[in-house]
Structure 1
Amino acid sequence: MHVERTFTVSRSIEDVFDYLSNFENTNEWDPGTVETTRTGGDGGLGTTYANTSEFMGRKTELTYETIGFDRPTFFSARGKNKTATATDSMTFTRDGDRTQIHYRADFQFHGLVGLVAPLFVKPKLDSLADETVEQIRGALEPAA
């Protein structure tokens, strides 16, 4: 299952890419993130992160790895633990001095969770995706 959103922010494509591809910044823009810390790498392809997130009242830990990095147009990171795999992908398109962001999050749930996820989890993921867009906008376009 997945969620995706496309929206535009008033920042340069390079600024947007640099900010969102530093996955430690999920601390600021991802409403589900409790904490993300870089555990290895230089920020590019293969960089790893320890992520603690909270979703539907439960905390979970995932190990993320940067699996796509093409500055300034594409970034992707995959997080895994024993119950889920989450892949965040972002495509950036220059729109004058603004940047269009296409954000997609794919989720695979393993075991019994995978059977009930479409019924209970999908509506919550849609709501979380909307919150994520608002938090990214707030982080990249702070009020003057």
Structure 2
Amino acid sequence: MAITVERSFRVGTPASTVVAYLEDFAHTEEWDPGTVRCRRTDAGPVAVGARWQNTSRFRGRETTLDYRLVTREPDRLVFQGSNRSVSATDDMAIRPHGDGTLVTYRATLTFKGVLRLAEPLLRGAFDDLADAVEARLPAVLGALPPTPAA
């Protein structure tokens, strides 16, 4: 059993700019209200296998997950994170839509051990967090300068 939240929204920013921004998971500090800090833990260009350490605050408690980029495609990014109590997958679909971009953000959390019993009680709080991401992320993406054409 897992908790999955999904939100979709449109921004006026080109898809290539959105992907270039979102592929660096350290940017979660700017658009995810739950993220306290996020830092890259390896070096080099962002590619499949790149790693970050993300510390989030949820319901008054901080937790740190080690994330890695597992899928990097022109229209999709998938990050997987884990620690001893939870596994998380952040799956972002980024598609051109009219003169902008349609972003679909899906977060799935699977609790381990006895914390699995708390999943039904935490669902509403994760929905609230997803609403907060949906309120903040479009503004952040909308303010990005276009990336230069390759």
Name the SS of the counterpart of 2:13 in structure 1: coil
1:141 CA displacement: 2.1
Partner of 1:89: 91
Q: Which residue identity does 1:92 align to in structure 2?
A: I
Query: 5+ residue gaps in structure 1?
Result: none
Q: Which amino acid aligns with 1:87?
A: T
What residue in structure 1 maps to residue 71 of structure 2? 68
Paired residues, number: 140
Provide the identity percentage.
36
- Partner of 1:35, secondary structure, is strand
In 1, the alpha carbon distance for the partners of 2:59 and 2:115 equals 13
Mapping of residues 45-60 of structure 1, within 5 Å: 45-60=48-63
**Partner residue in 1 for 2:42:** 40
The normalised TM-score by structure 1 is: 0.94
- Alignment match, 2:147: none
CA distance in 2, matches of 1:96, 1:22: 25
| Matched ranges for 1:1-144 at <5 A | 1-41=3-43, 42-71=45-74, 73-118=75-120, 120-142=121-143
**Hey, what's the Cα distance between the residues in 1 that align with 2:47 and 2:66?**
16
Q: State TM-score, norm by structure 2.
A: 0.90
Q: Which amino acid aligns with 2:142?
A: E
Q: Aligned equivalents of 1:102 and 1:141: distance in 2? A: 15
Question: Residue 41 of structure 2: SS of its match in structure 1?
Answer: strand
Instruction: Give the whole-Å Cα distance in 2 for the aligned partners of 1:85 and 1:62.
Output: 8
Unaligned runs of at least 5 residues, structure 2:
144-150
The residue type equivalent to 1:40 in the other structure is D
CA displacement, residues 56-98 of structure 1 (integer Å, 9 cap, x when unaligned) = 1100010000011002x00010010000001000011101220
Name the Cα RMSD after superposition: 0.9
Partner Cα distance (1:140, 1:85) in 2: 26
